[in-house]
Chains A and B, each alone.
Chain A
Amino acid sequence: MIKARTLSDARQQSHSNAELNWWIFMRISGLILVFLVLGHIYMTFIQVSEADATYVAVVNKLSNPAWKFYDWLILALALLHGANGARYSIEDYVRTRPDRAWIKGTFYTVIALLFAFGTVGLFSL
């Protein structure tokens, strides 16, 4: 973003609620993720060993639509939440314009691909 140096710059830049909405989203998704992610970790890592997550086990578990939805919610919320969080970092640390555009572009593409990959994975089983 260009810095608002004058009032008119500032006015020009101020018509979007994007940052506010993301801010709220981070909080709401965070609240939901607490339960989803901690639950997920508890069930898949503490109760059972990582070694138990065999192909068969995963396929079995995901044959239940409830788990499908549960995992998909984590996938969607966590990726969005994480991607936006990473955007904060990119905007803070990458200060030159062309670099930032490239990095953001590549990063969003990777996230989108992963989301597609994961979704297909969940629902094709």
Chain B
Amino acid sequence: MTQIQTPVTSSSVVQSGATPLAPADVPMLPLKVKVLRFNPEQDKKGRWVTYDIEAQPGDRLVDVLNEIKWYHEPSLTFRRSCQHGICGSDAMMINGRNRLACKTLVRDLVKGSGGEITVEPIRGLKVERDLLVDMEPFFDAYRAIMPYFINEDPAPAGERLQSEAQAERMAHSSNCILCACCTTSCPIFWVNGSYLGPAAIVQAHRFIFDSRDQATQQRLNIMNQNTGVWRCRTAYNCTEACPREIPITSLIEEVKRAVMFQQA
């Protein structure tokens, strides 16, 4: 069996492949990475485990977690894939805030002399193991808003025309990578899982304000229900958590107004 040592020190010998190679003069920072772990086959509830490890200021947190997983604690479980903030796999609560581990650099978490970093699973979704949560309720909400383009007219031979300004209307909302950072930072969603959540509303916005789409009314109706936009209490956690810098609260407010004007 692989040797597992906890706590551990690293990492001049073993350096993860993903970690950018250190120019020699960049110092390694000593870190205490506190992870809220949970193994459904052994634990009743989560337990904090601290890993002592070294990393460079420019390393991504995902590099640090990979390092722990690959060389010290292979059972540490979390999702990740692209490593640069485009696939939306690695949303977690880092130092008390939702972020993507791959878009968070060590130097933004600790001071120049190292320090402690806490990592927890995102909230409001069932923890399956360690930092990995059940995403199904999140995607259920996504599917509930009819997240697909609808235009029943026969398509023209070429493209449907759309002005640059109309295309720009979708610039923010279409940028979403469904990472769930927003929905799981929302204080309403934590306590009320039936709220569709900011991510689903952003997706609805994407179609509601698409000049080519014809199902605006149906989507606004979905947004108008008890589980829709009206549950949002403008807490802004979503906007602050979004790794794609989508002004989510603004978009939600636009949808609220659109529902209002539709019904008026």
Direct contact, A vs B (beta carbon within 8 Å): yes
Q: Known contacts A92-B188, A92-B191, A95-B193; is A4 also within 8 Å of B222 by CB?
A: yes
Q: Known contacts A4-B144, A5-B140, A24-B260; is A92 also within 8 Å of B192 by CB?
A: yes
Nearest CB of chain A from residue B215's CB, rounded to whole Å: 10
Chain A residues lying within 8 Å of B145, measured Cβ to Cβ, are 10
Q: Is the CB of A9 within 8 A of B188?
A: no
Nearest CB of chain A from residue B149's CB, rounded to whole Å: 15
Nearest CB of chain A from residue B67's CB, rounded to whole Å: 39
Chain B residues 178 to 218 lying within 8 A of chain A, measured CB to CB, are 188, 191-194, 196, 218
Q: Is the CB of A14 within 8 A of B221?
A: yes
Q: Is the CB of B191 within 8 A of A3?
A: no
Per-position 1/0 for A48-89, Cβ under 8 A of B: 000000000000000000000000000000000000000010
Chain B residues lying within 8 Å of A13, measured Cβ to Cβ, are 225-227
Nearest CB of chain A from residue B187's CB, rounded to whole Å: 9
Closest to A24 in B: B260
Cα–Cα, bound, A2→B196 (Å) = 11
Q: Known contacts A10-B225, A11-B221, A23-B230; is A3 also within 8 Å of B194 by CB?
A: yes
Nearest CB of chain B from residue A11's CB, rounded to whole Å: 7
Q: Is the CB of B144 within 8 A of A6?
A: yes
Q: Is the CB of A20 within 8 A of B227?
A: no
Chain B residues lying within 8 Å of A125, measured Cβ to Cβ, are none
Number of interface residues of B (CB under 8 A): 27
Cα–Cα, bound, A15→B188 (Å) = 23
Closest to B190 in A: A92
Cα–Cα, bound, A95→B227 (Å) = 13
Closest to B187 in A: A92
Q: Is the CB of A95 within 8 A of B192?
A: yes
Nearest CB of chain B from residue A104's CB, rounded to whole Å: 13
Contact of A7 among B146, B193, B226 (CB under 8 A): B146
Chain A residues lying within 8 Å of B83, measured Cβ to Cβ, are none
Chain A residues 1 to 50 lying within 8 A of chain B, measured CB to CB, are 1-7, 9-11, 13-20, 22-24
Task: Please list 20 pairs of residues, one from A and one from B, whose beta carbons are closer than 8 Å in the complex, sorted by A's number.
Answer: A3-B141, A3-B193, A3-B194, A5-B140, A5-B144, A9-B144, A10-B144, A10-B146, A10-B225, A14-B218, A14-B222, A14-B224, A18-B226, A19-B225, A19-B230, A20-B260, A22-B230, A23-B230, A24-B260, A93-B192
